[in-house]
Amino acid sequence: MKNFSQIFFSGFAGKIGVLSFVFLFLSFAFASQTSAQIVINEIYPTGGNTLATFNRDFVELYNRGTTNIDIAGYSLQYESVTGAGPYAVCNITASDTVIEPGTYFLIATGAVGAAGIAIPTPNATCSPLLTLAGTGGKVALVSNTTQITVSCPVMGGTIVDFVGYGTTANCSETAPEPAPPNNQTSLQRTPAGTDTNNNAADFTAAAPTPQAAGGPTAAGATIGGRIVSTRGRSISYVTLMLTGGDLEEPIYSTTNTFGYYQFPEVATGQTYILQVFSRRYTFNPSSRVINLNENLSDADFVGTEGWLNNRLQ
């Protein structure tokens, strides 16, 4: 026959076992954050700065799911890389806030600056405007306009998606994405919509490719890359020619000071030939065949200095 202490500790141990199981179950439930259907797909925080590609900051959303999502009443919220809150709130207002599957939604977040070209007509403009820092920051997509007041909110719930960038960011999904290295790159998911809930793994720095729902870039893609010497130095003012596909005649692009170039709004589902020409450098190869199905940001070439010119064919 069991005495009182045996009965008590036996029952207590059983309850502890049940409680431990419940705690373990809840721990797994909260630890496995579900990837959102609407994600922050691209962040360009250096618009309008000296030698910038585009003249204002933008954030691009993407619907990675299979159903329409209406983001009416959503907000973008931003805080500095090590800020403790509160976040700056951008109200997303637009004539059409429905994002269809596989399409983009472009939000102009900052004021128009002195340098760079205009972004495609945005689907929404932040109200009030946000000033994103190129060296690092935190951007949240929230399903309401309630201001985040802490440095690192609990992910999930009203926090639809969250991106921390810059090595010192004090909040991110798993780990922050390093900040863009210069004014010619943005942070973007590669390929579009990739979401493993790890900012460092999901984002890369590449030539910015803003795309808007229903805009001229929605049915096309951007071809871009960088031209460098064998020593890794950028080569500026190099000409590139794109032919093929449904192009009636060749189109051209020229590298900027940092060696980056871009062909925006190129029709997808077609094959193109990309060639590079320079009087000072030779390239081997000097052309490449591109089967374009989505944005291409690493169509790079390496040049050897010399006077064996690549000649237009």
CATH number for the domain that contains residue 286: 2.60.40.1120
In terms of domains, do 233 and 176 share one? Answer: no
In terms of domains, do 242 and 111 share one? Answer: no
* Domain encompassing residue 239: 221-305
In terms of domains, do 170 and 195 share one? Answer: yes
pTM of the model: 0.64
Given 189, 218, 247, the domain boundary residue is 218
In terms of domains, do 76 and 137 share one? Answer: yes
Q: Please compute the mean of the pLDDT values over residues 110-136 and round it to a whole number.
A: 91
In terms of domains, do 212 and 228 share one? Answer: no
In terms of domains, do 110 and 211 share one? Answer: yes
In terms of domains, do 185 and 66 share one? Answer: yes
Pairwise pLDDT comparison (22 vs 41), residue with the higher score: 41
Residue 162 pLDDT grade (very low, low, confident, very high; cuts 50, 70, 90): very high
**Residue 47 counted as domain residue:** yes
CATH number for the domain that contains residue 158: 2.60.40.1260
Radius of gyration of the chain, Cα coordinates, nearest whole angstrom: 24
**Residue 61 counted as domain residue:** yes
Total Cβ atoms within 10 A of residue 3: 7
Give the burial class of 225: count Cβ atoms within 10 A of its Cβ; 0-12 exposed, 13-18 middle, 19 or more buried. Answer: buried
For the chain, how many structural domains are there in total?
A: 2
In terms of domains, do 208 and 227 share one? Answer: no
Q: Please compute the mean of the pLDDT values over residues 77-86 and round it to a whole number.
A: 96
Distance (Å, rounded) from C-alpha 145 to C-alpha 172? Answer: 20
Distance (Å, rounded) from C-alpha 263 to C-alpha 176? Answer: 29
Q: What percent of the chain has pLDDT over 70?
A: 85
Given 218, 239, 272, the domain boundary residue is 218
Strand, coil or helix: 172? coil
**Residue 13 counted as domain residue:** no
Residue 143 pLDDT grade (very low, low, confident, very high; cuts 50, 70, 90): very high
**Residue 179 counted as domain residue:** yes
Tokens of 198: 């790890």
Strand, coil or helix: 11? helix
**Residue 207 counted as domain residue:** yes
In terms of domains, do 42 and 136 share one? Answer: yes
pLDDT attached to residue 268: 82
Pairwise pLDDT comparison (274 vs 312), residue with the higher score: 274
In terms of domains, do 136 and 248 share one? Answer: no
In terms of domains, do 178 and 246 share one? Answer: no
